[in-house]
């Protein structure tokens, strides 16, 4: 539609993983094909998605929590030589204060 800006945010990491398994493709190839078809971003994450999807990511939006939580998946370290911080929004009044930070690939 004219004047309508649509951002497609869909397919969970387990769905991406499943697509790769049944199609016999790498996660990076599945993401590349979905991007070509119009996918803009993927919600959430997972160790395999982080590891393989990172190479095709053009942007990263992270939720930075103000305290540590137990869990077994963390986002991999990345270089600011490849990404630049685009925005940072703080939510200090939330029941669990956090920040949302967006990085773009240079």
Average pLDDT score over residue span 44-57: 69
9 phi/psi in degrees, rounded to 5: -120, 100
Strands 83-91, 59-65: pairing kind:
unpaired
The whole model's pTM is what?
Answer: 0.58
Q: Is the pLDDT of residue 9 over 60?
A: yes
pLDDT at 57 exceeding the cut of 90 = no
- pLDDT at residue 27, rounded to an integer: 84
With 60 as the cut, is the pLDDT of residue 1 above it? no
Give the mean pLDDT of 29-53: 77
The answer for residues whose C-beta is within 8 angstroms of residue 91's C-beta and 6 or more apart is 97, 98, 99, 100
């Amino acid at each position: 539609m004219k004047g309508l800006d649509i951002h497609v945010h869909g397919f969970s990491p387990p769905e991406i993983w499943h697509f790769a398994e049944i199609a016999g493709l790498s996660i990076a190839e599945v993401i590349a094909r979905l991007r070509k078809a119009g996918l803009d971003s993927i919600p959430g994450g997972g160790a395999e998605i982080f590891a393989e999807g990172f190479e095709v990511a053009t942007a990263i939006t992270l939720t930075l929590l103000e305290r540590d939580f137990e869990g077994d998946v963390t986002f991999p370290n990345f270089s600011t030589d490849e990404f630049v911080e685009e925005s940072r929004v703080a939510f200090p009044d939330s029941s669990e204060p956090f920040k949302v930070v967006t990085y773009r690939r240079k």
